[in-house]
Amino acid sequence: MIIIMRMLQLQILFILFLNFTSVICVFHYCQNGNTQTIHNETSGTIRTILSGKNFYDDNLNCGWLIDGGVGKLIQLSITHVNLQLAPSYSSCGTYDHLSIMDGDATVTEAITSICGHRNPYEVLSSGRYLYLKFYSNDKNFYDHSGITVNFQVFNENECPPDWTNLTTTDQCFRIRQSPAAGVDWNSAYDNSHAQNVSVGSAWIGLTDIETEGKFKWLDNTYLASWIRTEGNNGDSDCGIFNFNTQKFQFKECERDKHLAVCQRNKVNKTSIFSIPVEKEKEKKVEHFNIRVILIIVGIVLAIIIVVSIIMCKRKRKHRYNQAHGSVEMDSVHDEEETPRLVSTNYTERPEMNNKTSLPEGTIQPSAPPSYEHVMGGHA
């Protein structure tokens, strides 16, 4: 009996050991200048740092080729991102970044690139290969811990890990919870990472963006008219499903934050639908652009007119000053050249009171003789 108990204990320990070893995560670190091929592994972790280090170095260039095998697909979960700062509008090319290609090492076009604070959270392959390439430049002034990526391999005719298959359809569903605070509707469309959690509401692919009041799914099918909706006013164009009230509600696409429900095909390749654009908004944008152009043209014309008026006034003033200046000069010359008339018939008289004195050298004409003086001389 004791021997049997010991054998059972050994079997249990052996089973526990097998279970423990099966969940051990294999780490694949950056090998600068090399591309590692990962195959015959159902799961593992990739870290963009050199083995034994906590931060990645400058001037790294390393890659990983994940081969899931025949009939397999690969799911990546990006669990940690700490990189050199990069602007949100950057293409990531010159900044520290991780590029993910859907295919083997011959594929050069990335389906997504991670730099700065960007994080797609999850990436799914369309075939047996995924190729990851990490690059760091020589402009890092601070230490960064890089990116941590978990990968899992699954059968191509099954839902990805942690996704749910509804037995009535061939669709896989998942509720996206990262980031925990939720995202706007456009971000929910861009990313597909999620977890099965209990939530009150979540974004779904339902909008009336194109035409107000006509609710359409992303695959261009319309919502049945008998289904009740709430909150569908002019500013609320994107739909959520309220799991508590079991109703469709509409919120503002760019302002409100919710978790998101994602959907993909279980067997066939999943189609990616484009985000609809409101036709009325397109017209409004066109009209707005025309108004802006007209306003700019009007301002330019007004400036040209004002400048022309100022220039004309300056020219007129200049001509006026030139004309009057020449007249004054001519009058001065005339006064200088005109001879003074000096009479010699009269004798000088002393300066009269309250009279303006004449210039020195001027001969003052004497007054004519008086009547008494004349008559007295002939008396």
Q: What DSSP string describes 54-106?
A: SSPPSS-EEEEEEE--TTEEEEEEEEEEE-----TT--STTSSEEEEESSSTT
pLDDT digits (tens, 9 = 90+) for 284-314: 555 667 788 888 988 998 999 988 888 888 8
Residues 152 and 174 in one domain: no
Using an 8 Å Cβ cutoff, are 184 and 163 in contact? no
Residues 102 and 202 in one domain: no
Whole-number average pLDDT of the chain: 75
Domain assignment of residue 322, yes or no: no
CATH number of the domain encompassing residue 50: 2.60.120.290
Domain assignment of residue 6, yes or no: no
pLDDT at residue 186, rounded to an integer: 56
pLDDT tier for residue 202 given thresholds of 50, 70 and 90: confident
Q: Which of 156, 186, 205 is the last residue of a domain?
A: 156
Give the 3-state secondary structure percentages of the chain, helix then strand then coil, rounded to 5. 25, 25, 50
- Least confident window among 22-31, 87-96, 175-184: 175-184
What is the token pair recorded at 14? 């052996």
- The whole model's pTM is what? 0.52
Domain assignment of residue 354, yes or no: no
Residues 70 and 93 in one domain: yes
Q: Which of 268, 293, 318 is the last residue of a domain?
A: 293
Using an 8 Å Cβ cutoff, are 50 and 29 in contact? yes
Nearest to 258 by CA among 199, 173, 209: 199
Residues 136 and 170 in one domain: no
Domain count, the chain: 2
Domain assignment of residue 353, yes or no: no
- Of residues 23 and 306, which shows the higher confidence score? 306
pLDDT tier for residue 170 given thresholds of 50, 70 and 90: confident
Query: Does 3 score more than 50 pLDDT?
Result: no
pLDDT at residue 192, rounded to an integer: 46
Domain assignment of residue 312, yes or no: no
Residues 110 and 220 in one domain: no
- Least confident window among 65-79, 139-153, 252-266: 252-266
Residues 87 and 202 in one domain: no
Domain assignment of residue 356, yes or no: no
Query: Does 347 score more than 60 pLDDT?
Result: no
Question: What secondary structure does DSSP assign to 354-373, as a single string?
Answer: TSPPPPTTPPPPPPPPPHHH
- Of residues 273 and 211, which shows the higher confidence score? 211
pLDDT tier for residue 38 given thresholds of 50, 70 and 90: very high
Residues 144 and 193 in one domain: no
Query: Does 16 score more than 70 pLDDT?
Result: no
Domain assignment of residue 351, yes or no: no
Range of the domain at 32: 24-156
Q: Which H/E stretch holds residue 169?
A: none
Residues 269 and 287 in one domain: yes
pLDDT digits (tens, 9 = 90+) for 61-108: 999 999 999 999 999 999 999 999 999 888 898 999 999 999 999 988
pLDDT tier for residue 335 given thresholds of 50, 70 and 90: low
Cis peptide before 87 (omega within 30 of 0): no
d(CA 102, CA 76): 11
Q: Which of 122, 156, 190 is the last residue of a domain?
A: 156
Residues 57 and 135 in one domain: yes
The pairing of strands 229-230 and 238-242 is unpaired
Q: How far is CA 79 from CA 45, 96, 145, 217, 297, in A?
A: 10, 17, 12, 30, 52
CATH number of the domain encompassing residue 260: 3.10.100.10
d(CA 166, CA 159): 10
d(CA 32, CA 38): 16
d(CA 47, CA 124): 18
Residues 108 and 217 in one domain: no
pLDDT tier for residue 151 given thresholds of 50, 70 and 90: very high
Query: Does 379 score more than 80 pLDDT?
Result: no
Contacts of 55 (CB under 8 A, 6+ apart): 49, 143, 144, 145, 146
Using an 8 Å Cβ cutoff, are 162 and 179 in contact? no
What is the token pair recorded at 183? 């995202």
Domain assignment of residue 337, yes or no: no
Residues 38 and 119 in one domain: yes
How many of the other CB atoms lie within 10 Å of CB of 149? Answer: 26
Residues 176 and 264 in one domain: yes
Tell me the percentage of the chain whose pLDDT exceeds 90.
29
